[in-house]
Structures are given as C-alpha cells and as structure tokens.
C-alpha cells in the first residue's frame, strides 16, 4: 500500500531564529510535522502541516488511560554532502509496532512510517545541524484520541512525527545510582515498550537519585534488585579487561538500537561482547580487583556516555578515575564516523533522504 501525503508548507519559517551553535536539547522544533489518523479500520489523512498545537478533547483517551507510545531516532548531516542521513529508521519502526501491539494500538505500516518520515525530513532538511555533536532528533509517536471515559482500547489514534535539532544530551561523564527500592518494570509488564507511562513512573525515583547527587538511576531487576538492567534512557555496557558485558534483553528492559549497533560494532572492531546477567556485586568485586575498566551507556539521545562512578547501598564507587576510556572512545568514533557518512557503512545502517 502506498499513502498519498498532502503537504501544507509553513508561511513563517523559523529557521532564521535557529542558532546551530547554541541548540540545547528538545526545546526547538522544526517548521513542520507529519500526522495521520487511524479511524478504527484504516490510516487516513496522511499530511504534513506547519508545526503547531493539536486540538484535543479533554476526554482524549490517551491522557486518562495511557495508550501513548513513542520512538526516538536521529538524522545526521553527511560530512561530505551535508545531506541528512537517517540512522537505522526501520528498527524504530519495528520497535514502535512492538509497543503498539502490547498496548492494543494499531500497527503503523512500514511505508506510512518511512514515507511520512522522509517527506518531513526532506522538507525540514535545513534544520539538520552541521555542527560538531549536532543532529536532528526525530520523535515519532502514537496516541489514543477517542473522547470517551471508560477503560477500553480507543478506536481512533493519531500517529505523528516531529523533529528537534539537538546538541549533546549529556556533556560530561555521569554518576548513576543503583536503584534498590523502586522498580521501572515488572516481569510480564511493559518495560520492553516505549510507552509514555514507563517514563512518568521513573520520574520520582530519578528525582530522588538527583537529590542525592546522581545524574541518573541504574535500574536493577524488579524481583531481587541485584542484577543491573538499564538507566532511565540508555542501555549499559561494562568493560572488563578482555571482554565487554551488557545485560541480556528481557521483557523488563528496552532493546536499544544504539545497544545493538554498539554490540555489532565492538565485534567488528575485534572485541568479545557477551549478553548475560550482570550483578551489582560483580561490578563491585571486579572494580576492587582492578578488572572493571569502563562503564558506558548508550542511547539515541545520550549517544555514548561514560560513567564516572556508581552509588550502591549508600556507598559511592569511582570507575573512571581508575579506569580507561579506550573501548568507549573507539566504539564512539567508529559509530560517529558511520553516522556522518565518513566511514564505510558496513552494515548498511544509513538511509539517505
Ligand atoms: C529506557 C530506555 N532504555 C534504553 C534506551 C536506548 O534505546 P535507543 O538506543 O534505541 O535509543 C532508551 C531510549 O530510547 C530508553 O528510553
């Protein structure tokens, strides 16, 4: 199936107000957005409009009952041509649909997702920062729009995409708190989805961690709080002297696309990467023995950031000062070069617009 997309261009482009040297994260939006409606049986009215407010009923079902999911992906400026390169967009499309299925929401067809995305990026291509560390963050999302009070799956939905030019999400190595009291996700729950509720539920524990001087929470398994899972918006890797370990996937953590790219990249660079259970005790013991060299986290927004140290049971464990940065530097450079079209795209991850 192919979708016809109607395009209404803005009469008041804001591009001249945009300073690529001073971007921040998530505060500036490009000129246009993509929208489509699910009417209970099919996707209709695929369109691009000037970016702006949506007109919604106070009874909009997503607000009350939580059928709301999203994705986060990026386009990077090709260093040679300046044109946008989308990084693994079809992986985000697949993950959006895994979230949709779990939340009883309609599937978004691949061509609606990809055609809408490419048309939008083409129109707003000038907004893709050419500056070092800059990129265009892209937010596809879907939410229930029935104006109806009662707990049942909505019949109507909006699927939409908007974009923000962004700089780095974090600018320094992070301190993370191993969470032992609160849980992000339960077995059989929705931890593997990007549903909005996961993020709302994480805010209180994250605020508490920040009040204690940490940047982020490191979530542990909800049953024993002894196994490391992921942070609030990233997956995690630990580098021991001859191997890299990342927690194995399950239904309580998000299958990060950066995580998958980093695993493939590290193997390409000749490192051994193992996906398995990783306990907090192992991190502490091997740090003490001098075997834990690096911890880093990965995500679309955060990219790849090193961990300064972690807090556990009221104690702080410094990692970076005694460790190294060799593996995280190497894989970050490898990935950045591919995303900016500077190195051979060995896995065919980039899609030009
Ligand atoms: C909870 C959580 N874990 C991990 C990630 C990293 O996923 P990705 O690399 O696909 O951005 C994200 C970001 O989407 C996230 O929200």
335-342, long-range: CB within 8 Å, 24+ apart, which pairs?
335/258, 335/261, 335/262, 335/265, 335/304, 339/74, 339/76, 339/85, 339/87, 339/135, 340/76, 340/77, 340/78, 340/79, 340/85, 341/76, 341/78, 341/79, 341/80, 341/81, 341/85, 342/79, 342/80
| Tokens representing residue 121 in the block | 């990026």
Tens digit of each residue's pLDDT (9 = 90 or more) over 49-70: 999 999 999 999 999 999 999 9
Q: Between residues 167 and 68, which one has the greater pLDDT? A: 68
Mean pLDDT of 124-149: 96
- Ligand 1 neighbour 254 (Cβ under 6 A): yes
Expressed in angstroms, the distance from the first to the final Cα of the chain is 20
pLDDT band at 118 (very low <50, low <70, confident <90, very high): very high
Q: Is 72 in the pocket of ligand 1 (CB under 6 A)?
A: yes
Q: Which atom of ligand 1 is nearest to the CA of 72?
A: 14
Give the SS3 label for residue 192: coil
Residues 186-205: pLDDT tens digits? 999 999 999 999 999 999 99
Residue of 170, 232, 300 with the most ligand 1 atoms within 8 Å of its CB, for mutation: 300
Q: What is the pLDDT of residue 288?
A: 96
Tell me, what's the pLDDT at 241? 87
Give the pLDDT band of residue 171 (cuts 50, 70, 90).
confident
User: Ligand 1 atom closest to Cα of 300?
Assistant: 11
pLDDT at 27 > cutoff 90: no
HSE of 140 in the Cβ direction (CA atoms, 13 Å)?
29
Among residues of the chain, what percentage have pLDDT more than 70? Answer: 100
In tens, the pLDDT along 310-323 reads: 999 999 999 998 78
Chain mean pLDDT for the chain:
96
Task: For residue 257, give the DSSP letter.
Answer: H
Could you tell me the residue ranges of all domains in the chain?
6-168, 174-339
Task: Establish whether residue 201 lines the binding site of ligand 1, counting it when its CB lies within 6 angstroms of any ligand atom.
Answer: no
pLDDT tens, position by position, 236-258? 999 998 899 999 999 999 999 99
DSSP string, 214-254: -SEEEEE-TTTS-BEEEESS-EEEEEETTEEEEEPP-TTS-
In this prediction, residues 217-225 reach a mean pLDDT of: 97
What are the structure tokens assigned to 1, written together? 């199936």
Ligand 1 and 252: CB distance under 6 A: no
The yes-or-no verdict on residue 82 having pLDDT over 80 is yes
Q: Which residues are 311's β-sheet partners? A: 177, 316
Q: Give the mean pLDDT of 41-51.
A: 98
Confidence of residue 1 (pLDDT cuts 50, 70, 90): low
Q: What is the mean pLDDT of residues 22-34?
A: 91
- Which of 264, 299, 300, 339 for a ligand 1 pocket mutation test, highest count of atoms within 8 Å of Cβ? 299
| Per-residue confidence band for 154, with pLDDT thresholds at 50, 70 and 90 | very high
Other CB atoms closer than 10 Å to residue 324's CB: what's the count? 12
* Ligand 1 atom 4: residue of nearest CA: 234
Flag whether pLDDT at 2 surpasses 80. Answer: no
- Angstrom distance (rounded) from CA 2 to CA 110: 10
Q: Which CATH class is domain 6-168?
A: alpha beta
Q: Which CATH superfamily is domain 174-339 in?
A: D-amino Acid Aminotransferase, subunit A, domain 2 (3.20.10.10)
């Amino acid at each position: 199936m192919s979708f016809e997309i109607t395009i209404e261009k803005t009469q008041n482009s804001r591009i001249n107000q945009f300073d690529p040297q001073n971007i921040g994260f998530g505060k500036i939006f490009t000129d246009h957005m993509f929208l489509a409606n699910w009417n209970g049986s099919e996707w209709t009215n695929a369109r691009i409009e000037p970016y702006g407010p949506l007109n919604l009923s106070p009874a909009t079902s997503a607000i009350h009952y939580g059928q709301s999911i999203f994705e986060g992906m990026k386009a990077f400026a090709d260093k040679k041509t300046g044109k946008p390169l989308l990084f693994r967009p079809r992986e985000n499309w697949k993950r959006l649909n895994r979230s949709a299925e779990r939340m009883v929401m309609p599937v978004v067809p691949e061509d609606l997702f990809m055609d809408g995305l490419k048309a939008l990026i083409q129109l707003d291509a000038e907004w893709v920062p050419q500056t070092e560390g800059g990129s265009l963050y892209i937010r596809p999302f879907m939410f229930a729009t029935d104006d109806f009070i009662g707990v049942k799956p909505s019949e109507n939905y909006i699927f939409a995409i908007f974009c923000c030019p962004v700089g780095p999400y974090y600018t320094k190595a992070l301190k993370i708190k191993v969470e032992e009291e609160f849980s992000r996700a339960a077995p059989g729950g929705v931890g593997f989805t990007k549903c909005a509720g996961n993020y709302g539920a994480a805010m209180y524990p994250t605020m508490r961690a920040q009040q204690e001087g940490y940047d982020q929470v490191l979530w542990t398994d909800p049953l024993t709080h002894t196994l490391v899972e992921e942070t609030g918006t990233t997956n995690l890797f630990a580098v021991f002297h001859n191997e890299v370990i990342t927690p194995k996937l399950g239904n309580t953590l998000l299958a990060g696309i950066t995580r998958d790219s980093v695993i493939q990249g590290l193997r390409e660079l000749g490192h051994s990467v193992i996906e398995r259970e990783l306990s907090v005790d192992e991190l502490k013991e091997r740090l003490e023995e001098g075997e834990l060299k690096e911890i880093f986290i990965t995500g679309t927004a955060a990219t790849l950031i090193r961990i300064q140290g972690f807090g556990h049971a009221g104690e702080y464990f410094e990692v970076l000062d005694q460790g190294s940065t060799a593996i995280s530097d190497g894989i970050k450079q490898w990935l950045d070069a591919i995303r900016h079209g500077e190195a051979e795209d060995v896995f065919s991850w980039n899609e030009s617009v």
